[in-house]
Structure 1
Amino acid sequence: MGSSTYNNSSSLGWVVQKFGGTSVGKFPDKIARDIVKASLSRNRVVVVCSARSTGKKAEGTTSRLLGVYNKLRDVGAAYASSAGYSSSSDDEPDTPDTLIDQARGLIMDICNDHVFAAESFVRDPSLRQSLSKKIEAECQELIEYMIAAKRFNLEINSRAKDRVISFGEKLACLYMTVLLQDAGIDAEYVDLCDALHYDASAQLDANFYKAAITAFTRKLSACENRVPVVTGFFGNVPGSLLDGDIGRGYTDLCAALCAVGLKAEELQIWKEVDGIFTADPSKVPTARLLPSITPSEAAELTFYGSEVIHHLTMDQVIRAQPPIPIRIKNVKNPRGNGTVVIPDPVLSAGRQLHRSRPSEVKSLKTPKRPTAVTIKDHISVINVHSNKRSLSHGFFARVFSILDKHSISVDLISTSEVHVSLAIHSGSTKVDAFTKAKQSLAECGDVSVLPDMAILSLVGADMKNMIGVAGRMFSTLGEHRVNLEMISQGASEINISCVIDARDSTRAMNVLHTHLFTFLE
């Protein structure tokens, strides 16, 4: 490779570009040469990467590392049991040595996959050789950690899980750093896996985020004019990054914290789709790309089934001073404008607390188009009918205390004085917890469950001031013989939702999109 000719010019504003694991796995050369390199003429760039994936979930780096952690946990279980550990799939018990060998095999699969990618995409022989050695060294470090855990009987907890999973982002960023260097970009690897030091009892509060922003900004500033390539995994956080309050989507949050610290002009989330659409384009052929949406609309779409942006990510950049727009773009179409999440105008405290009623006819609008329609699958509806003529607040208090005890969240709710219907996402609820909650709810009254349902939601920031949107939605569904089990309008008044049979979900979404998006002017 010749001398690096592309770097961050101190006279330009910052842009933070976050790339998902599938993008890093499938389109690394396009990221390096068509996106990052092209962006450097307009902005200073920070690159944030997720762990590599080639598209098959079982073969993704994070899935394999979870397999490594499970072996590590089983090693701990083997030592904890005086009778020895017996695996669920074999008659003979797996010894700690066997488990370590199995974990080593998974780690070597990860190593070989990354080395093969380096050989496939890195053109400069010396860079390619150097990268292969770094990949092998990281994988050997993980193997040695496994051996140490076995030898010294280390506690296998959420922090241990975080440490194992963090290797995915480390390998991805080492790989991407060299790819950028191979493209003539002066890039520097930045590891945030140990940038913070919090114990399990600390709180994930404003002080934590402030400290994280300060620590990340210090690391980024040390790169000077080099392009930082940042591990999307960061630690140590209160409790656990993966199993705590942040969870999946931590890479988006890491990118957001970097953007806030640098006062970036824009946070870019790069995916394999052109942006956010009026409906899922894989299910609704007439779905159209949205040029822009509001943060509240993005939050509703994320909650009701569309994978848009991690909610904590949005909180950080929208509340920044000044607020930072989020742009969702397609790695396969870098020249496309994507969809930008534009911060809402800042409201005064009084306006946030008190909203005037849009009851006057002159303040209401004829329906235009809502923003999007979305489906959330894997919904079960629990109906509870009180067996006592007790006060409704006592009945509701008992129902929600039972759900809270079993850590069950409610997506939609419909109530009367003696009846409550609850839509619950069964995909995020453990079967055992759901069963126990149902048994406990029987103490409150008659309980029935409707499985295999879906939540159909219409989202739009202007809907609260529009006449007839709900009527048009429900009459359209009725005309096309889609039965409604529940109806709910969110307190934010920007979504109208109903629960329908999952078998009708795709048809219902297409029907609504045709009548409320295609025909409605």
Structure 2
Amino acid sequence: MKFGGSSVASAERMREVASLILSFPEEMPIVVLSAMGKTTNKLLLKCYFLIGCSYLPLRTVDELGVDKSVIAKHLEELEQLLKGIAMMKELTKRTQDYLVSFGECMSTRIFAAYLNKIGVKARQYDAFEIGFITTDDFTNADILEATYPAVAKRLHGDWVSDPAIAIVTGFLGKARKSCAVTTLGRGGSDLTATTIGKALGLPEIQVWKDVDGVLTCDPNIYPKAEPVPYLTFDEAAELAYFGAQVLHPQSMRPARESDIPVRVKNSYNPKAPGTLITKARDMSKAVLTSIVLKRNVTMLDIVSTRMLGQYGFLAKVFSIFEELGISVDVVATSEVSVSLTLDPSKLWSRELIQQASELDHVVEELEKIAVVNLLQNRSIISLIGNVQRSSLILEKAFRVLRTLGVTVQMISQGASKVNISLVVNDSEAEQCVRALHSAFFESEISELEKDYKSRNGSVA
């Protein structure tokens, strides 16, 4: 059972999470926690601006009646770390990972202490001490295969010798080479949970959020978004990769590899059914599953007659991005051109000056072999749905966007075959999402079904 930051944001929320855990009396769940709501952001703000604030963990400790000693050492270490950063006036990625790790380390200790206080035997674990081995890519590390046997050995061994509910820090790992604390990227606690699920061969992984499961679109863009009852691992992975905030992009991989169902639930509304994610589902009536928006994308149009009949042209193009460590999101090719978008999560995490320099370098290198047009302030609208109905989805989508007067600047279908991506101007993107949601999920859905039935005789 994984609980996000908003689920454990206060003493009251921690009590409610404890009740949820205890509502499974026949089970002994393993619990993964994020830092208490917004703690990661507050730690970074305190570091960047050296602001003073009433510290959330201490208030929560008082309200839960837990002994302050459970986090006293960490608060002392955190204070020393912040003083060191202020003195050096520098924050490396390695130090940043160590800094934000205090959030998870304290939330898990507070929660484990509270469970023990109310008579529920619990044991706290730091993920980086029980076998979570990662690459040395600070702020966005990948979990290595050696993690699975190490985690299984530690958690299973402790359970056999002394049964207790395990409370594990999400989001964290230990770098293979440097042995320093690493983080798995924002939302990485989901990946922690599915990794433990695979390591122990658990029957189900539950991810508890502050929404009623995976939704048909971002409710902040369109309040009429509805929960999606069922998803495949492929659909969930595409949703996460293209910007849905409910799941970490890599979190589906361990669950899919071990075929363990993932259930996304709402800790604020536990009776809601949520979303069940499995290897396969009934697609006979599915048209579109969800609409995802990724903003602030940079698009490149690369045109060259050298592409005609010449092998190695695309390899040269992508080698330029590889040299700079820039990820490509979406690609579309024709006989003499290639259009692509750059992953904003990888590019915009850098300093503004570095971003501009890298983009200039990319264009400069590409212009040696092609004509390049760089287009910024673009958005990717991803339509996740049934590949067997891709022509129907495209026809309907273009009809809607044409009515809005929106020009689609690029279209691509992913290798997973469950995603169609459309690139539009940032300024038009939210309007497009609202109109597409209305067309696919509301009054027009019956028309879609009629169209498909009339062309195919029945719904396939």
Q: Report if aligned partners of 1:293, 1:341 keep a CA contact under 8 Å in 2.
A: yes
CA RMSD of aligned residues (A): 3.4
Aligned residues, how many? Answer: 431
Counterpart check, 1:165 vs 2:100: yes
- d(CA) in 2 for partners of 1:32, 1:520: 38
**Are the structure 2 counterparts of residues 148 and 385 from structure 1 closer, same or farther at C-alpha, using a change threshold of 3 Å?**
closer
Aligned match for 2:245, one of 291, 298, 307? 307
Residues 379 and 427, structure 1, Cα contact 8 Å, conserved in 2: no
* Aligned residues with identical type, % of pairs: 28
Give the aligned partner of residue 211 of structure 1: 150
Secondary structure in structure 1 of the residue aligned to 2:311: helix
Deviates more, 1:233-242 or 1:41-50: 233-242
Equivalent residue letter for 1:325: P
Residue 483 of structure 1: CA displacement? Answer: 1.0
SS in 2 for 1:319: helix
Using the alignment, how far apart are the partners of 1:145 and 1:424 within structure 2? 35
Question: What is the match of residue 29 of structure 2?
Answer: 45
Specify whether residues 286 and 240 from structure 1 end up closer, same or farther in structure 2 by C-alpha distance, changes over 3 A only: farther
Deviations 1:175-234 (A, max 9, x none): 11233234443322223332238697899543343333333433454540x222222254
TM, length-normalised to structure 1: 0.73
Which residue is equivalent to 1:403?
321
Q: CA deviation at 1:329?
A: 0.9
Q: Which residue is equivalent to 1:278? A: 216
Shift of 1:250: 3.1
Q: Which residue of 1 aligns with 2:125?
A: 190
Change in 2 beyond 3 A, CA 1:312/1:405: same
Q: Does 1:174 align with 2:109?
A: yes
Q: Flag the 1:200–1:181 CA change in 2: closer, same or farther, 3 A.
A: closer
1:331 corresponds to which of 261, 267, 273: 267
Distance in 2 separating the partners of 1:243 and 1:175: 20
Aligned partner of 1:57 in structure 2 is none
1: CA distance, partners of 2:156 / 2:430: 45
Separation in 2 of the partners of 1:291 and 1:390?
A: 46
Q: Is the counterpart of residue 294 in structure 1 residue 232 in structure 2?
A: yes
Aligned counterpart, 1:34: 19
Q: Tell me if structure 1 keeps the 8 A contact 2:33–2:189.
A: yes
Please state how far the C-alpha of 1:249 moved relative to its aligned partner. 3.3
Q: Can you give the 5+ residue segments of structure 2 that lack an aligned partner in the other structure?
A: 447-460
**Contact 1:241 1:250 (8 Å CA) reproduced:** no
- 1:487 correspondence with 2:417: no
Instruction: Pick the aligned partner of 1:369 from 283, 287, 297.
Output: 287
- CA drift at 1:236: 2.1
Query: Match for residue 63 of structure 1?
Result: 41
Partners of 2:388 and 2:178 lie apart in 1 by: 39
Mapped pair 1:232 → 2:170: yes
Cα deviation code 1:89-118 (max 9, x no counterpart): xxxxxxxxxxxxx6xx87xx57x4311122
Q: Does 1:447 align with 2:385?
A: no
Question: What is the alpha-carbon distance in structure 1 between the residues aligned to residue 416 and residue 301 of structure 2?
Answer: 24
1:302, CA displacement in angstroms? 0.9
What is the SS of the residue equivalent to 1:247?
coil
Question: 2: distance between equivalents of 1:501 and 1:241?
Answer: 43
1:384–1:419 CA contact under 8 A, matched in 2: yes
1:114 is aligned, of 35, 53, 57, to 57
Larger Rg: 1
For residue 511 of structure 1, report the CA deviation from its aligned partner.
Answer: 1.5
Which protein, 1 or 2, shows the higher relative CO under an 8 Å CA cutoff with sep ≥ 6? 1
Structure 2 length as normaliser, TM-score? 0.82
Q: SS at the partner of 1:44?
A: coil
Give the equivalent residue in structure 2 for 1:249: 187
Q: Is contact 2:329-2:343 (8 Å) kept? A: yes
Following superposition, the deviation at residue 174 of structure 1 comes to 1.2
